[in-house]
Amino acid sequence: MLWHQSKAGRRTVGIPAVIIPALREHLSVFTGPDAGSLVFAGVTGVPLRRSNFNKMSAWPHAVSAIGAKGLHVHDLRHTGNTFAASGGAGIKDLMARMGHDSERAALIYQHEARG
């Protein structure tokens, strides 16, 4: 089952070339062969959900290892969007990046980027 936050939720996302080898490795080790396989799943193979992510994934261990107590995975999304807005991304670009069909969130990031 695929769930999307909005009709803009399914989108093409650009990624830096430097992470492609690690992504390919992850796919070869942790993802099944069929097109509907989960890219990121819990340790028991179930979809990651907000309710099980902090208990059933490597996230708590990674956060502890880097000394970032209290860091949530969604914080990375906010940071990336703030960087994009600071780099000059426009409202439509931010909306596409975030998968939103409302300008409200994009305006918040642009406001944060302006200080």
pLDDT tens digit string along 27-45? Answer: 888 888 888 888 877 777 7
pLDDT band at 15 (very low <50, low <70, confident <90, very high): confident
How does pLDDT run across 38-77, given as a tens digit for each residue?
A: 887 777 777 877 776 776 677 888 899 999 988 888 888 8
**Residue 96 backbone phi and psi in degrees, to 5:** -65, -40
CA-to-CA dists, residue 111 to 88, 90, 104, angstroms: 12, 12, 11
- Picking from 35, 54, 69, the residue at the C-terminal end of a domain is 69
In this predicted structure, the answer to whether residue 1 has a pLDDT above a threshold of 70 is no
**Residue 47 backbone phi and psi in degrees, to 5:** -60, 145
Look at residue 4 in the predicted model and tell me its pLDDT. Answer: 46
Q: Are 43 and 59 in contact (CB under 8 A)?
A: no
What's this model's pTM, rounded to 2 decimal places?
Answer: 0.57
In this predicted structure, the answer to whether residue 18 has a pLDDT above a threshold of 90 is yes
Q: Distance (Å, rounded) from C-alpha 39 to C-alpha 26?
A: 8
Q: How many structural domains comprise the chain?
A: 2
Residue 37: inside a domain, yes or no?
yes
In this predicted structure, the answer to whether residue 14 has a pLDDT above a threshold of 70 is yes
What angle do the packed helices 103-113 and 91-98 form, to 10 degrees? Answer: 110
Both 100 and 58 in a single domain? no
Residue 103: inside a domain, yes or no?
yes
- Which residue segment(s) compose the domain that 47 sits in? 19-69
Both 57 and 43 in a single domain? yes
